[in-house]
Amino acid sequence: MSRELGEFLRSRRARIKPTDVGLSAGLRRRVPGLRRDEVASLAGVSVEYYVRLEQGRTAGVSDSVLDAVGRALRLSDVERTHLHNLVRPADGSSGSTPVSPTVQRLIDLMDSVPAMVLGKHLDVLAYNRLADAVYGFSALPAAERNMARRAFLNPTAHLFYPEWDAVAEETVAYLRLEAGRFPEDPELASLVGELSIKNEVFGRLWARHDVKDKVFGRKLVNHDLVGELQVEWQTFMLPGEVGQHLLTYVPVPGSATADKLAVLASWAASSPEPSQLTS
């Protein structure tokens, strides 16, 4: 984790122009962005102290120092959380528990919007008929129902996601955030290793150390039967269920996407309940 911390801090200071923080750019600057001594000065700590932090020597470092470094590096709220996680990671694995029957019944009742439950590794743990109609989860073995694998390993991903670049960046940034929270998680490490080996773009994005949480946004998908679907997505953490969050795709009322989802819902109504297919 010391290497991850150092790489994250270096990547964040490399993106800041000296002039952005009131410093002179100079003529013989050997590094992109800020130097270590400049970050230390902005954070109000000694250069030696900051260098130790980049080296991963974090014994005794206080939250106030981390917050000061975060301000100096102009970190976002999510990036500040990531910094704290890198210094004080959670213990153990972040593996998800099975989805409860109550939650499965809940998403089954959401018959007008695609809904699914994702785990920490973006595994699809449960889904309703309409989500299955959009993504085709039931045609895949349970081990292959993973949103990151779909984005980076599925040969049709670029067609299915017209805005694939944005999907790829968001996916990697979320996995990077989870890796900071749970650095000892073997399943997450295995997934990252697999994607890094099999997809060059994933490896490039992973090296950027960008982090982003999954909260809300918009997504465009290209369904092979009904065409483009533009939805607003929202996630809801499931209390008491470690690593699980409910993801819904909501169309604008009266839109073409709403009409297309209604058609898919009609087709899906004759299919088995997803609760019979998710094992």
Measure the CA–CA gap between 74 and 32, rounded to whole angstroms: 16
Label the pairing between strands 245-250 and 216-223. Answer: unpaired
- pLDDT reading at 279 higher than 50: no
Residue 58 neighbours by CB distance under 10 Å: 16
pLDDT tens, residue by residue, 153-176: 999 999 999 999 999 999 999 999
pLDDT tens, residue by residue, 209-237: 999 998 999 999 999 999 999 999 999 99
pTM for this model (two decimals): 0.89
Measure the CA–CA gap between 108 and 85, rounded to whole angstroms: 35
Measure CA of the first residue to CA of the last residue in the chain; give whole Å.
35
Measure the CA–CA gap between 49 and 65, rounded to whole angstroms: 10
Across 235-259, average pLDDT? 91
Q: Residue 116: which of 93, 147, 92 has the closest Cα?
A: 147
Backbone angles phi, psi at 218, to 5 degrees: -125, 150
Measure the CA–CA gap between 45 and 1, rounded to whole angstroms: 22
Residue 248 and residue 234 in contact, taking contact as beta carbons nearer than 8 Å: yes
- pLDDT reading at 94 higher than 60: no
Q: What is the pLDDT of residue 251?
A: 95
- % of residues, the chain, pLDDT over 70: 92
pLDDT tens, residue by residue, 48-84: 999 999 999 988 899 999 999 999 999 999 999 999 9
Residue 85 and residue 218 in contact, taking contact as beta carbons nearer than 8 Å: no
Residue 24 banded pLDDT, cuts 50, 70, 90 = confident
Residue 213 and residue 166 in contact, taking contact as beta carbons nearer than 8 Å: no
CATH of domain 2-87: 1.10.260.40
Q: Residue 82: which of 211, 215, 199 has the closest Cα?
A: 211
Average pLDDT, the chain: 90
Measure the CA–CA gap between 250 and 114, rounded to whole angstroms: 8
Q: 101-276: which CATH number, 3.30.230.10, 3.30.450.180, 3.30.1380.20, 2.40.110.10?
A: 3.30.450.180
Q: What is the pLDDT of residue 95?
A: 57
What are the extents of the domains in the chain? 2-87, 101-276
Q: What is the pLDDT of residue 65?
A: 94
Q: What is the pLDDT of residue 272?
A: 64
Across 112-131, average pLDDT? 94
Q: What is the pLDDT of residue 9?
A: 96
Label the pairing between strands 115-118 and 124-127. Answer: antiparallel
